[in-house]
């Protein structure tokens, strides 16, 4: 397992990984991270300013209101909004879009709540190793409660979960990770791993001083359902995976894996660094 970012956290004497904090959509549930994208596309389409999927995915992982604000700030969308509305988007427009987003996202979550294959088994592996399981998200508490209830029925239930409003701010700020560490009594931060599929996940982990691991094959970087991804040719899969891996490495990930099935090997590699035995 190759360490991509040599500036790894210091373990403050820890000899093993004490906690793993997962993202949700695209990492543990919702293969391809489709629910947020489909909802944003619908919200902006209804407003008369259709957005491209690439635009919707650009800031994926941050708090949803912040995500809508980031879309409104994109130059192309700014220009289209002014053409359609005769004026630039303002704070009231953000309020209206977010208000419309909320019920649509709830509706969409019902359709995109499947736990990604192998996740419950990986989590059980980590728990056998004495590792606590946390989670952070860009969803609101009400959204996450719905998603978590569905995930629990499928065998995945983290020990704790934090949302932006509970942490004080969303990604890339580190506060949700800090709150999760306090809630689960995890110390030191350098013995914690954050796992996610977006650049904002990676930056959240780096800003918190924990190990950041990117997941390339199941999330935002690929942006396809499992069925559609499997339908690609081997060459097409390879091209998409290379780009997704490169984007996560560029964001600063210490390790990049294709699926969570590779995470136990990362834990072993991190523990080797903590013990000073890494090659």
Confirm if 114 and 154 have CB atoms less than 8 A apart. Answer: yes
Given the residues 23, 66, 197, 247, select the one marked as catalytic: 23
Pick the closest to residue 118 from 241, 213, 226, 237 (CA basis): 226
DSSP SS3 for 132: strand
Strands (E), 23-141: 132-136
Confirm if 269 and 278 have CB atoms less than 8 A apart. Answer: yes
- Is there a catalytic annotation at residue 64? yes
Four-point Cα dihedral 126, 255, 164, 30, nearest 10: -70
DSSP SS3 for 90: coil
Q: What does the alpha-carbon distance between residue 122 and residue 186 come to, in Å, rounded to a whole number?
A: 20
User: For the chain, first and last CA: distance in Å?
Assistant: 10
Rounded to the nearest 10 degrees, the angle between the axes of helix 34-46 and helix 64-72 is 50
Given the residues 7, 15, 30, 64, select the one marked as catalytic: 64
Structure tokens at 258: 């294709």
Q: Which residues are tagged catalytic?
A: 23, 64
């Amino acid at each position: 397992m190759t360490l991509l970012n040599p500036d790894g956290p210091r373990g403050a004497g820890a000899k093993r990984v004490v906690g793993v904090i997962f993202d949700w959509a695209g990492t543990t549930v919702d293969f391809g991270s489709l629910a947020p994208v489909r909802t944003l596309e619908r919200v902006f389409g209804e407003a008369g300013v259709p957005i491209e999927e690439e635009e919707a995915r650009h800031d994926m992982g941050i708090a949803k209101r912040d995500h809508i604000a980031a879309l409104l700030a994109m130059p192309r969308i700014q220009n289209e909004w002014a053409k359609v509305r005769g004026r630039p988007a303002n704070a009231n427009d953000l309020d209206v879009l977010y208000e419309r987003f909320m019920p649509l996202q709830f509706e969409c979550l019902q359709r995109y709540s499947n736990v990604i294959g192998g996740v419950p088994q990986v989590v059980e592996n980590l728990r056998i190793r004495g590792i606590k399981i946390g989670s952070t998200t860009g969803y609101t508490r009400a959204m996450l409660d719905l998603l978590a209830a569905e995930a629990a029925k499928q065998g995945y239930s983290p020990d704790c979960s934090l949302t932006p409003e509970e942490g004080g701010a969303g990604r890339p700020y580190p506060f949700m990770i800090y709150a999760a560490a306090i809630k689960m009594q995890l110390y030191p931060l350098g013995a914690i791993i954050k796992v996610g599929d977006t650049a904002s996940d990676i930056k959240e982990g780096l800003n918190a001083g924990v190990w950041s691991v990117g997941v390339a094959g199941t999330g935002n970087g690929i942006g396809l359902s499992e069925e559609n991804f499997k339908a690609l040719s081997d060459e097409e899969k390879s091209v998409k995976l290379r780009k997704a891996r490169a984007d996560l490495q560029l964001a600063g990930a210490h390790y990049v894996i294709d699926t969570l099935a590779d995470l136990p090997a990362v834990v072993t590699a991190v523990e080797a660094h903590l013990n000073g035995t890494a090659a």
